[in-house]
Structure 1
Amino acid sequence: MTAAIASEDQALIDAATALIKRRYAVGRHHIAAALRTRSGKIVTGLHLDTYVGRASVCAEAVAVGQAMADGAGAGDPITAIVSVRHPRPTEQNQAIQIVAPCGICREMLRDFAPEARVLLADPEQGLRAYHPSDLLPLKYHRLP
């Protein structure tokens, strides 16, 4: 039996889900992210897919950038983040699901939200939280 999802975590899932339901577009937007800062502020971000893949921007990066622009950081750090994926119309399962951040976003979260809880769906244990260091244990560090 899995534990109930905490209301503050459910609020993040709901915010990301509402955004992707509102803005989903085939070939443009299929991932949304929502994060919370220590002050309780929720910030969302939308994946920006482009025809040139290298120019695409992940939803997590958009959300973190918006949070930083709004003043998140040392005084109001990011404490949790979740990402959700909208299925394409051709997929059999049409449920919006929680997805893991890509490798680049894991690196970014280690830089900008090292103590945040990254919410992931575990098929056997339900919703679980991981630190960015759990998802990217051997982070690249610049030499001094």
Structure 2
Amino acid sequence: MLNVKPLEERDYELIKAAEEVIEKNYRYERHHIGAAVRTKTGKVFAAVHVEANIGRITVCAEAMALGKSISEGEHNFETFVAVAHPHPHENIENCWVVPPCGMCRELISDYGKETEVILPYNGEIVKCNVMELLPEKYRSEF
């Protein structure tokens, strides 16, 4: 069972930033996930994932938002969120929050073990520490 926290108003603003970036840049079979990160200084960076014909080289939206933040000199992260945009053939009107994939969990934790992640859990949208999602994290040293 995860140790979760309820969302604050600024968490909903972070979700909105992720929704806005994917709604603006959605392209079928190219970009359908948007992510946003809030840094410890309160700045928000949002980006979309970059789909590739060879799935292995696709870059997740969380990684893109992280890179965008670092490129702007922000290296300390507070909270991440990702949202999915509905495809034209789906009978869904709005974006929805999705949990980070395993690689993104590793990446986020590499850049801050205290970072929180917003995700769906037990029918609610909540946040928790990234390490809750990554027990026994990989380490190169023993």
Q: TM-score, normalised by structure 2?
A: 0.90
Distance across 2 between alignment mates of 1:123 and 1:88 = 25
- Partner residue of 2:140? 142
CA–CA separation in structure 2 for the residues paired with 1:5 and 1:136: 21
1:35 equivalent in structure 2: 37
Is the partner of 2:63 in helix, strand or coil?
A: helix
- TM-score by length of structure 1 reads 0.89
Cα deviation for residue 94 of structure 1 reads 2.8
Segments of 4+ moved more than 3 angstroms: none
Matched, 1:13 2:15: yes
Residue of structure 1 equivalent to 2:100: 101
Q: How many angstroms apart in 1 are the aligned matches of 2:137 and 2:120?
A: 23
- One-letter amino acid of the counterpart of residue 141, structure 1: R
Question: Which structure is higher in RCO with an 8 Å CA cutoff and minimum separation 6?
Answer: 2
AA aligned to 1:115 is E
What is the match of residue 129 of structure 2?
131
Q: What is the DSSP-based 3-state SS (H/G/I as helix, E as strand, rest coil) of the residue aligned with 1:133?
A: helix
Q: CA RMSD in A?
A: 1.6
Q: Secondary structure at the match of 2:64?
A: helix
Q: Which ranges of structure 1 fall in alignment gaps of 5 or more residues? A: none
- Name the aligned partner's letter for residue 140 of structure 2: R
Counterparts of 2:7 and 2:140, CA distance in 1: 38
Number of residue pairs aligned between Structure 1 and Structure 2 = 138
Q: Distance in 1 between matches of 2:24 and 2:9?
A: 22
1: CA distance between counterparts of 2:87 and 2:122? 21
Q: Give the residue type in structure 1 aligned to 2:105.
A: R
Identity of aligned residues (%): 36
Is 1:92 matched up with 2:91? yes
* Distance in 1 (alpha carbons) for counterparts of 2:11 and 2:48: 18
Q: CA deviation at 1:92?
A: 2.0
Asked if structure 1 preserves the Cα contact closer than 8 Å seen for 2:118 and 2:126, the reply is: yes
SS in 2 for 1:60: helix
Following TM superposition, by how much is the alpha carbon of 1:5 offset from its aligned partner in structure 2, in angstroms? 4.3
Tell me, what secondary structure is at the counterpart of 1:25? Answer: coil
